[in-house]
Structure 1
């Protein structure tokens, strides 16, 4: 159902229409900061020239549907590939990055003006060079100068100790936009990964290793197959006539295991109907067609608790009204499937779920 936030240094949704204040060429008296190193790394072009998951054996209609979906949506598989490649380059160029900031996270999305070029080149199976925007997060806001934060995130309230939540295409405490040779990548797929096991493992590793949306002390990350909105578990009113499962579990955690199979069914159905996953299964059924999922309870959270606790209110996105209802926070283990073949690599996530009754 491709973890969520930390009060001081969390993954924040924000717009990419901002300007960065990190200098490309620090002065002689300037001590190179982590931001200088990150931007310098992002000035190195990335070239993807490998086997991937686009199956050119599908019909032209399916290929067009797939490329439109992976380019038009914010959190698509293509953007997650870009995020994964950018993260790997940063870790290679800054070997101690994850030692200093073990919960470092970033999001990378192609720039709006690159959409059509990418769409056309993928459909024509030619090489494309494009720019991407990056938003990244460290551990605490004090690790980034306030002036830098304000310039990079104009929605941030400097009188507050927290960044404001904002829905946008890239997110992070600090934003670096892609233009010219800054944040540039080339993509050309050699061939389709036709072996089901190898393809599912590749895709699972890519989604599992991505650093995006890691925050709240590294505890929370959304299922990276999914879009930017919050996850739902849709349950049948016949099974839950009182429509108060979260309250029941909040009062007695043993109820979670009693109702677990019904919850799993609701979560599975919701994931498979998510825009990104559904479009992938419909247009490229040769990639994957199902998932195996298991869950364990972290906590049940009532809306009243969120409103009474500023930390919870911030972490769970009150300003976007994402959590207008009680919710469950669960650990999830997901394995991708294609027919009888199941990935060896398990995607581990922590999910915050709204519960709806239909």
Structure 2
């Protein structure tokens, strides 16, 4: 894979000498594929030098607490910023990408080696350059050569048509790891977005633009909110003595509506914690201080379905400890708030959840 990446983008130079050489070998015209264009785009450095959400009028301790949260692999806010910037560059370089591949999806995550540099950059308001990993999906395996897939994901058989990688931050059929000059990004915040409405709209738009893994004509998805293993919401055993709410909803969707208030309350608490929104509210309270959340049911999924359906297995996986539990796939609508100001943009994303009874 390293050899492959090291030769991408190099042009073959043809030179002529005093002696004329006649070749009998016919020239070969290589047609650049979408896959080739994506890899070429990811070689370009990305520069973020703009207004963002770090308010340096906050105390030094709060800024340090906020920046230190990047050590946590769940610091999805910064990774979503990176994902958004990478996606925008791809669309700029390949204007017809989403028209040709409407279910194209991508996630990007800062490499572990880059954490300390970004933390220091945020604390001292200096510029830093870091690498990021990218995983992307091109609607099953139709446009990615098997040799590339095997180099990217050596533990899977690329002929299975069910190749899937998910490590909690970047996921997709094809993975390009950030190293040396590959997948480089520079970051320096110009200033804090001081207008509450502008800031909330910016954040909401950025989070909305992050693209989940989409497969099989958009019928199934794997979402950027989801963790390394299936996230849980907790319900009281006293309220649900049978402890089989997902199975009940699978049979009758109206049961979801009847129990929505319990699910919504648990999700609200989980959403804040699992997506590090808590870091923004506690460490950078000038960014946002609350949110409105609403949910609706997409479908209930039983473990037996995943094991029996290759499409579901492809999207959610069936390895123990990953997504091997009965799940509720729900649509989550979020409106960010700061005081009386509410974002004009609704963050709309789907999420797969298991239920734990306590």
Specify the TM-score bucket, using the shorter chain as the normaliser. 0.7 to 0.9
1:262 partnered with 2:274: no
Residue number among 25, 48, 68 corresponding to 2:10 in the alignment: 25
Aligned to 1:132, what secondary structure does the other structure show? strand
Aligned to 2:317: 317
Show structure 1 runs of 5+ residues with no match: 1-17
Which residue is equivalent to 1:6?
none
* 3-state SS of paired residue (1:119): helix
| Alpha-carbon distance in structure 2 between the residues aligned to 1:271 and 1:168 | 16
RMSD: 2.3
Q: How far, CA to CA, are the matches of 1:194 and 1:244 in structure 2?
A: 47
Deviation at 1:53, TM superposition (A): 0.7
Does structure 1 residue 240 correspond to structure 2 residue 240?
A: yes
Q: 1:216 to 1:272 in 2, by over 3 A?
A: farther
Please give the residue correspondences for 1:325-340 in structure 2 after superposition, counting only pairs within 5 Å: 325-340=325-340
Distance 1:205 1:349 in 2: 12
- Equivalent positions of 1:178-257 (< 5 A) are 178-219=178-219, 224=224, 227-257=227-257
Give the stretch that moved more between structures: 210-219 or 35-44.
210-219
Residues 1:122 and 1:225: Cα distance change in structure 2 (over 3 Å): farther
Shift in alpha-carbon separation, 1:207–1:198, aligned structure 2, 3 A: same
Superposition map of 1:147-162 within 5 A: 147-162=147-162
User: How far did residue 26 of structure 1 move?
Assistant: 5.8
Larger Rg: 2
* Deviation string, structure 1 residues 45-93 (Cα, Å, up to 9, x no partner): 2111111011112222221111121354255211111110111011011
**Inter-CA distance 219–204: structure 2 relative to 1 (3 Å threshold):** farther
Q: Mark the runs of 5 or more structure 2 residues left unpaired by the alignment.
A: 13-27
Q: Which has the higher contact order (CA 8 A, sep 6+)?
A: 1
CA distance in 2, matches of 1:210, 1:180: 25
Length, aligned pairs only:
341
Which residue number corresponds to residue 25 of structure 2? none
Shift of 1:210: 1.4
TM-score, normalising length: structure 2: 0.87
Residues 86-131 of structure 1 show CA distances to partners (whole Å, capped at 9, x for unaligned) of 1101101110011111111111122222221111111100111222
Sort the Cα spacing of 1:238 and 1:79 in 2 relative to 1 into closer, same or farther, 3 A: same
Deviation at residue 176 of structure 1 after TM alignment:
2.1
CA separation in 2, counterparts of 1:166 and 1:341?
Answer: 36
Tell me if the contact between 1:246 and 1:328 (Cα under 8 Å) persists in the aligned partners: yes
Q: CA separation in 1, counterparts of 2:220 and 2:305?
A: 18
